[in-house]
Structure 1
Amino acid sequence: YPNVEVDISKDNWAIEVKYNAKFYDGIGQLLSQKVLYNFEELNLIHVHKYLNPKFINGFLFLTKKLNINGFLIDLREKKILSNFNKNES
């Protein structure tokens, strides 16, 4: 298959990082890696200056539903949210 652009990949895992992007950006790249190359662990990191509740809920719901480890980094609030604990770090 052709190469799928993804920020970091090794063995059977991939990480895609997005900055101030739409909540669904990066998901297609990761799902392509999973389907074409049988990647088992998919990680999506979104870094934002500001996160609103609709964005947070959409991102966390979608990544969890698609079995992608999702992380949101809020630069303004200086916190990290993830789809498996939904708690700040």
Structure 2
Amino acid sequence: MFGKQIPEATDILVPRWWSNRFYKGSYSNWPIGVGHHQFNQIKAPVGRVYFTGEHTSAAYYGYVHGAYFAGIDSAKMITNCIKRGACTNKI
């Protein structure tokens, strides 16, 4: 994948997701009190930009299969917009 001229490793990075003040974990964790309206705002398209990922899955947020299913949902929204003109916002 990288070719034959790969140098030997000189260091290793061990991320500390749980202690980094900018992450505080590696998956989404909605705070208490977040409602359906706020959740929909997070995944709402902005212009031509569509948001998807595990954080936009209502049933499986924080999990890999949530990202997978959210990606499928976003692809369907974009396809419907392009092919059928059924856009939730103007592209």
> Do the structures match in fold with TM over 0.5?
no
Q: Which is richer in helix?
A: 2
* TM norm structure 1: 0.26
* TM norm structure 2: 0.26
User: Whose Rg is larger?
Assistant: 2
Q: Which is richer in strand?
A: 1
Higher relative CO (CA 8 A, sep ≥ 6), structure 1 or 2? 1
